[in-house]
Structure 1
Amino acid sequence: MSDESGCLACDLIDGRQELPGGRIDETRHWVVEHCVGPLSVGALIVKPLRHVVHVADLTAEESAELGPLLQRTSAALTELTAPEQIYVTLWSHAGGVPGHIHFVVQPVHKPEMERHGRYGPALQVAMFATGEHPGPDEVRAFADRMRAHLQVGHGA
């Protein structure tokens, strides 16, 4: 599916790297996975299956699926986690070089903002600075809950 060996996003898609929780949701062109970085449990990644480094390079079909998938993912996270806000941010750099685009869809709660004394992008930067990754068991349990919630929502 993906086409860039050595790209973490592609390696996760193709199973060359371990992905706690596995694939949560997918469309013809996009995949939803739990974030492997130091964001909170429930922070998800929405990324194209194809290696794309610029939003401008998305095909019409990829673009058409993106909005509905971000909305569905955000709505499910809202229902499961009751956050203060859902952040949807584009991340696309690795070492200062454009990389495989991915949207972080992150539920944010008051205790996280208070703990770090930050909100918005500064909160995400502060969370990355701690280097504290959620445990794989917590990630797997949340991914299972999210997957089940989405299946019910899809009428499966």
Structure 2
Amino acid sequence: MTDPATQLHSDCLACQILTGAQPVPGGTIAENPWWVADHCVGPYGLGSVVLKPRAHRENLWELSVAESASLGPFLQQLSEAIALAMEAERVYVSLWVDQPPYHVHFVLQPRYPDGHNPHELGLKGLELQVFRTLSPPPSEAEMATAAERIRAVWQQKFAAGLPCQS
């Protein structure tokens, strides 16, 4: 019998992206047997990546042992790939599960050094999050280019199982 928690939901945006029913600019950036990463659609900043489990999971406590065990290393790899590809000073990691039909996903957002993106006014933390939410999202072409840059670093450095710098 199939576990209902692993079934994809047709009304879930994350599940639609996983099945290809909803395309994302730049496509899949990185993946492993349990997790898939692609560029975040919306006003979260250029180079922001969404990491979601392949199975529809509404809560962290629903993750399988394998999903949980692979999450930490994959977050570490993705955050380093984003930092290197996008020349970010920091990468914020947030968990979002706020909209029905709830699908666990992490948002990894690069924060750039002061002066790198002058329109962000050197903002950090919550102020930067609010500012980006009120700003127009990156264009599809910009998202696709950022996704390719991050994917290239991830493939070169981690697809072969190489360790992170730290």
Pairwise same-fold verdict (TM > 0.5): yes
SS in 2 for 1:46: strand
Match of 1:75 in 2: 80
1:15 match = 20
2:97 maps to which of 87, 92, 96: 92
SS in 2 for 1:93: coil
SS at match of 1:42: coil
* TM-score, with length taken from structure 1: 0.87
**Cα distance in 2 between the residues matched to 1:5 and 1:113:** 40
Partner of 2:45: 40
Task: Say whether 1:27 aligns with 2:32.
Answer: yes
The two structures have a TM-score, normalised by structure 2, of 0.82
1:121 deviates by: 3.5
Give every structure 1 segment of 4 or more consecutive aligned residues whose post-TM-superposition deviation is greater than 6 Å. none
Deviation at 1:146, TM superposition (A): 1.6
Task: Tell me, in whole angstroms, the C-alpha distance in 1 between the residues paired with 2:7 and 2:38.
Answer: 15
Counterpart-to-counterpart distance in 1, 2:121 and 2:55: 35
Number of residues paired by the alignment?
153
Greater Cα shift, 114-123 or 77-86: 114-123
Do 1:83 and 1:107's aligned partners in 2 also have CA atoms closer than 8 Å? yes
Counterpart residue identity of residue 100, structure 1: H
SS in 2 for 1:80: helix
Q: Is the 8 A contact 1:113 1:119 kept in 2?
A: no
* Same amino acid, percent of matched pairs: 38
Between structures 1 and 2, the one with greater strand share: 1
User: What is the Cα deviation at residue 114 of structure 1?
Assistant: 7.1
Q: 1:21 to 1:80 in 2, by over 3 A?
A: same
Larger radius of gyration: 2
Whether the 8 Å contact between 1:47 and 1:101 is mirrored in structure 2 is: yes
Q: Where in structure 1 are there 5+ consecutive unaligned residues?
A: none
CA RMSD in angstroms comes to: 2.2
1:106 alignment partner in structure 2: 109
Structure 1 partner of 2:147: 143
